[in-house]
Structure 1
Amino acid sequence: MKKICTAALTIFLFLCSSLQASENPASAKGSETAIQQAREMILSYFNPAEGTISDIKGNMVSVKFPEGAQIRKGMRFSVFRQGKPFHHPVTNELIGYAEEIAGRLELSGEKGNDGLHSCVVIRGELKAGDTVRITESRIKLAFFQERKSDWELSEAFYGSLKGSGRFEIFEAYTPSYKPEDLSQLALKMNAEAVLLFSTPLKNEKRFLSVTLYWAEDAKPFAEKEESVGPAGTIMHAPEEEFIARSLSDTEPWGSYRLASGEFFAMGDVDGNGVAELVVSDGNTISIYNFREQLQETWTIKGTSAENHISIDVLDLNMNGRAEIFVTAFFSGAVTKTDDSILSRRKPGDTAVESFVLEFDPAEGYRKTRSSIPYFFRVSGKRLLMQKFDENRIFSGPVYEGEWENGDYAAKKQLSLPSDVNIYGFTFIDWQHKGESQIMTFDDAGYLILYDSKGQAVWKSSRSYGKFALSLESESFSMANPIKKWFLRGRLITAVTEKKEEVIVLNKIPVVAQVPGLGSKGSEVYSLWWDGSDIEEKLILSQVPGTITDYWVHGGELFLLAKGNLLSLVKNAVTGEFAKGSALYYYRMGEK
């Protein structure tokens, strides 16, 4: 290499710039206070409540609420009317009455001397005796953020709002932030209200700003703006960054050698406000910080029967410390690296025993959940989960996981083509038209593009490389006694000057005819669909070693590589050996 900077300084400078606000205690406190106040304001408009219409005069309605009801001006209530009775099918005993939706009204005034509240009719022919109600069920809320918003503030606020358990939150791309346009999108998602988030700069101060609109008529009903501290370098969402140029034949901006590594993830796992690097070598998990240098701070060694196949981090339980989600196979499971089978599952054995690690200030890192029969993957702000099956490996649909009643639950089912599993796919809206498509690997490393209706519209003419890990089980078939499932590699969506593109690795084998040697290097491509075919652009070439995992953070690209036979021969002259792994870091955003 011409010149490789020390990764300690490289990554430290990068994280310092992107996490500047987090390391400023005053700024962090201001952010926390602003998020809490905005959250409580929003929740106050959706407190569960029920009352009865007492009188109607034209468009105005008087409603009686019970003493102590938590209500405020601007709230909207659904109105219900007693419907037909329903009886016991055998005894014919009256069980109760059905309810019919009669309309909607908005609380417009404070409590009068007569104990009644004034409301205005939004829609419907209402009658005295009708019931008005805000349900105890989760409220459907459409969440939008302006593109130049501070990403860290947005992530923290979104997580706090979701963590309240009061809302089912929906997101969608929008080219316009006009209330009418946002409301139309919200109605298509069956959302009741719209939230617009931004972080404007005023008088050298950064503010957190939220505005709420009703989806049915785009009327604004609440707004709050709170200072979070002095203006500084803000962190835009990764998808708002641009890959400015090709890095073909470019040396890494930084490089650092690790003892070993197969998979990695980044996030604040100890709650100190700084992102850590979490690395698994397939059995042992190592945690590194970047404060002054790349330094290993903790090691969690697995049992001899433990085999990790993926690792992710996400603060799903919203306690300020990101959980570490480890998908693992234990004794009796099959893992296969290159062409070497480590173990084979016997029929009837339990295979998947995934677990969750979390940092405890008193005890360090410990397992908070174990023996979970699901594969894990984190996509943006979401935890994805798919059930393990002894015979089919990947069983049933992929779900979005939620933190519910102190546990991780598979809740919202994703709509995916039948041959897509939890690994190796990404959602993509090529031209920001609100039409989400899916790109996925198949088991041979070919790429397939599905349109918004789930129809395959394109398949690559070549494979992007063999997957390093596969799972096998006995099928009891004479023709095919062993069935195989591959752990497909990452695909990442990034926003570029073409709207959105997919970032993909192409692995170059040492010798195509000789299995087991790994790859001599990798290339990184960006892919873009023009409506009829895929345009492929080389953005990085000649990355040495076998890339086992990678991540794109805006204009930054992180690659985790292992040595192979070729690098062993190459480095033997200098006394270096191919053991261990290397973390490469490229800045693609520089022009």
Structure 2
Amino acid sequence: MTKDTTKDMTQYMKISAYAVVIALCQVIYLLSFINGAFGAVGGYDDPLKPLADKTVKFFNPLTLKVDAVKGDALTLRGDTSGKAIPGTRFEIFRQGAMFYHPVTNEPLGHFEDLIGSIEITGVKPDGETAARLIKGTPKKGDIARLSKSKIRALFYQDKSIDWFLGDVYYRQLKQSGRFELIDSAIDAENTAALFEEAKKLGADVLILIEGSKKDEIRDEDKYLKQRIYWVSDKREVSSDTVAVSEAYLQDVLAAADIFLSAMNEPVLTYRMPIGYDLMTIGNISGGSDVDLIFSTGSDLAVYKPGVDMNKIMELKGDKMSDNVYIDIIDINKDGRDEIIVTAMAYDGARAFIYGVEGGQLKLLWKASGFLRVYGNKLLFQRYTPREGQVGNVDYIVWDSNHFKEEGQLKLPSGVNLYDFVYLAPAAEDAKSDPVTLFYDNANHLVVKNSTGTRIWRSKGNMGGFIREYNIPGPTIMVEGGKWHISDKMFLYHKKGIAIRRIPFALTSASLGYKQSYIMSYGFNGISVEENTLVGAVSGNIIDYTIYKDRIYVLARPILGLNLSGMLKGENPLVTNLFIYKLL
């Protein structure tokens, strides 16, 4: 072994040891956070702890005596150490024969016979407790008891809530020592399937947690809702909702970054035609299934995703134009989305709105300029040959069977309709106004506050603009420069989402891209936090869209060639559609 080789190996071992230490620190931080070691995280109280405490208290062990029975109504008294809670269920026991010590023959107590069960319906200030009979034939003097043994509960976390947030709450319940929590791999579409699973697994209680149901496409889960059911008769006995701040959620996800990166693999992959370079997703054809819409050149193609992609309709556009932006929005509020298209043609930018009529795409509106969907609004900006996007950004609305411009969106100077998203501070106590995240002319990301002061700029550019256009110069011999159309930006969980590409040559993207990433940028009221959502995609991510808890990524391999497929006799010219789960 040479001296240089030994030196290289020593350096490698040092770097590897350092990486292991960093990884272990992240694991310890995550486990400490999830196990509640911090109590108040980031200077604010844990919003889940009061709910966990209330749930545990609902099942506090307690012993009462039956004082009176009138039909199905019972009156209970006793044990002043705590009060029963309406909805809680007790078992009824009757004192039986005495049992004795086998050697000394000393009396040790009485056997108890299980008589039935009751549900608490109310508690009076004087300690009297009312209950209803569920089964059995209790009488005065019988014992009503909620035992100290663990409550066997099926814990189910709905898809509408962030997985790691649900896991933090799961561990808080488990740490209480009051529950025997049962996990299940069932992917339930309704509570009926959950009850069937709970009975099969011998659970007494079903604990169901869900997230908020606001705008599932572009809004964030702001609440955790818990419902508790008795499995035997499917009766809901408790329903609570707690607000979860974005700051708390980001702390949970930040602690989980080491695990998120390990899970960053697509759940589905489709091979699409090489020409597809734009995409969006929505419901344009009606029914319960979504549609995937792709653009290639000036044409549009609509697919129904399944085991395979099934094309259901297409639209041929002007061959002298090239689509540069597509998205969807239900602008006329008819329950079906319209397709929004901007194309560049020989005479400049053209904006179109298409809808489905009779199973075909039909042009509903067109203008000279640019369109963009932002949230639940449709934006429009005009075009000039020298500046591209220029002038005010207007809202387009549907009014009495026609589209019209109504109102304007004020943007920072130099920011156009494709360049930006608004970020709100994540911290609950942050008093600052929402800030603007946008691309500057050098393809860096910049954050400015409401007064126009720059508070952050990315260290490097995002890999160059892939859609640039020449500005005509004052003479044939003098060039006039370039203008560009920025990559699509989304707002997801109060974070800006953008593409970062890594060129083969760091100083130029002319040779193409070796890797691409989808990044998130969150503002905490003081600084910007950058994280990777989708990482190390080989080649060039050319477009993406977010729908519910999935991110759909359209990418071309390095040099646009699938070399491994070519060796198998497959067409090497492909565009890949990767679908990732967003956690």
* Separation of aligned partners in 2, 1:287 and 1:504: 25
- For 1:368, the equivalent position in structure 2 comes to 364
Match of 1:469 among 467, 470, 484: 467
Displacement of 1:554 in angstroms is 4.9
- For 2:390, the equivalent position in structure 1 comes to 395
* Separation of aligned partners in 1, 2:521 and 2:404: 34
> Are 1:415 and 2:410 counterparts?
yes
* Separation of aligned partners in 1, 2:214 and 2:527: 33
Displacement of 1:460 in angstroms is 1.3
- For 2:22, the equivalent position in structure 1 comes to none
* Separation of aligned partners in 2, 1:290 and 1:175: 30
Match of 2:496 among 493, 496, 502: 502
Displacement of 1:404 in angstroms is 2.1
- For 1:275, the equivalent position in structure 2 comes to 290
Q: Which has the higher mean CA deviation after the structures are superposed, 559-568 or 472-481?
A: 472-481
* Separation of aligned partners in 1, 2:247 and 2:290: 18
> Are 1:385 and 2:385 counterparts?
no
- For 2:350, the equivalent position in structure 1 comes to 353
Displacement of 1:473 in angstroms is 3.1
Displacement of 1:312 in angstroms is 0.9
Displacement of 1:257 in angstroms is 0.8
* Separation of aligned partners in 2, 1:153 and 1:489: 23
Match of 2:266 among 247, 252, 277: 252
> Are 1:552 and 2:521 counterparts?
no
- For 1:286, the equivalent position in structure 2 comes to 301
* Separation of aligned partners in 2, 1:443 and 1:412: 27
Contact 2:561 2:574 in 1 (8 A): no
* Separation of aligned partners in 2, 1:239 and 1:532: 12
Contact 1:430 1:501 in 2 (8 A): no
Q: 1:380 to 1:419 in 2, by over 3 A?
A: same
Match of 2:340 among 321, 325, 329: 325
- For 2:399, the equivalent position in structure 1 comes to 404
Contact 1:249 1:540 in 2 (8 A): no
Q: 1:18 to 1:400 in 2, by over 3 A?
A: farther
Q: 1:531 to 1:480 in 2, by over 3 A?
A: farther
Superposed CA deviations along residues 498-529 of structure 1, whole A, max 9, x for unmatched, are xx433332101123456433212212333334
* Separation of aligned partners in 2, 1:249 and 1:326: 34
1:436 maps to a residue whose letter is P
Superposed CA deviations along residues 234-277 of structure 1, whole A, max 9, x for unmatched, are xx9x9999866433583311110111311111111012232211
Displacement of 1:202 in angstroms is 11
Superposed CA deviations along residues 136-174 of structure 1, whole A, max 9, x for unmatched, are xxxxxxxxxxx954336999xxxxxxxxxxxxxxx9x99
Q: 1:553 to 1:299 in 2, by over 3 A?
A: closer
Q: 1:175 to 1:314 in 2, by over 3 A?
A: closer
The 5-angstrom pairing of residues 60-139 of structure 1 reads none
2:213 maps to a residue whose letter is D
- For 1:73, the equivalent position in structure 2 comes to none
Greater Rg, structure 1 or structure 2?
2
Superposed CA deviations along residues 22-49 of structure 1, whole A, max 9, x for unmatched, are xxxxxxxxxxxxxxxxxxxxxxxxxxxx
Superposed CA deviations along residues 394-449 of structure 1, whole A, max 9, x for unmatched, are 12121222112322222221121111101131111022547211000123220110
2:364 maps to a residue whose letter is T
With normalisation by structure 1, the TM-score equals 0.54
SS in 2 for 1:510: strand
- For 1:491, the equivalent position in structure 2 comes to 489
Q: 1:19 to 1:322 in 2, by over 3 A?
A: farther
Superposed CA deviations along residues 453-508 of structure 1, whole A, max 9, x for unmatched, are 2222221121111121112231325785233111111232322xxxx433332101
Q: 1:508 to 1:270 in 2, by over 3 A?
A: same
Contact 1:376 1:384 in 2 (8 A): yes
1:537 maps to a residue whose letter is N
Q: Which has the higher mean CA deviation after the structures are superposed, 390-399 or 458-467?
A: 390-399
> Are 1:438 and 2:452 counterparts?
no
Q: 1:352 to 1:578 in 2, by over 3 A?
A: same
> Are 1:523 and 2:517 counterparts?
yes
Q: 1:202 to 1:353 in 2, by over 3 A?
A: farther
- For 1:587, the equivalent position in structure 2 comes to 581
* Percent identity of equivalent pairs: 22
* Separation of aligned partners in 2, 1:358 and 1:491: 24
Q: 1:541 to 1:149 in 2, by over 3 A?
A: closer
1:354 maps to a residue whose letter is A
SS in 1 for 2:536: strand
Match of 1:261 among 276, 280, 291: 276
Superposed CA deviations along residues 316-365 of structure 1, whole A, max 9, x for unmatched, are 011222111110122x2xxxxxxxxxxxxxxxxx32222121100x3511
* Separation of aligned partners in 2, 1:463 and 1:421: 18
- For 2:448, the equivalent position in structure 1 comes to 450
* Separation of aligned partners in 2, 1:174 and 1:540: 20
SS in 2 for 1:358: strand
Contact 1:427 1:437 in 2 (8 A): yes
- For 1:296, the equivalent position in structure 2 comes to 311
1:484 maps to a residue whose letter is K
* Separation of aligned partners in 2, 1:294 and 1:397: 40
1:501 maps to a residue whose letter is K
Contact 2:282 2:328 in 1 (8 A): yes
Displacement of 1:285 in angstroms is 0.8
Displacement of 1:559 in angstroms is 0.7
SS in 2 for 1:482: coil
SS in 1 for 2:349: coil
* Separation of aligned partners in 2, 1:525 and 1:449: 15
- For 2:206, the equivalent position in structure 1 comes to none
Q: 1:437 to 1:365 in 2, by over 3 A?
A: same
Q: Output the aligned Cα RMSD.
A: 3.9
Match of 1:534 among 505, 509, 528: 528
| Structure 2: runs of 5+ lacking an equivalent | 1-158, 161-185, 191-209, 231-238
1:250 maps to a residue whose letter is N
Q: Kindly tell me the number of residue pairs found equivalent between the two proteins.
A: 358
Displacement of 1:311 in angstroms is 0.4
* Separation of aligned partners in 1, 2:567 and 2:283: 40
With normalisation by structure 2, the TM-score equals 0.54
Contact 1:239 1:554 in 2 (8 A): no
Contact 2:279 2:293 in 1 (8 A): yes
| Structure 1: runs of 5+ lacking an equivalent | 1-12, 22-146, 156-170, 177-197, 205-230, 333-349
* Separation of aligned partners in 1, 2:280 and 2:481: 30
Q: 1:582 to 1:240 in 2, by over 3 A?
A: farther
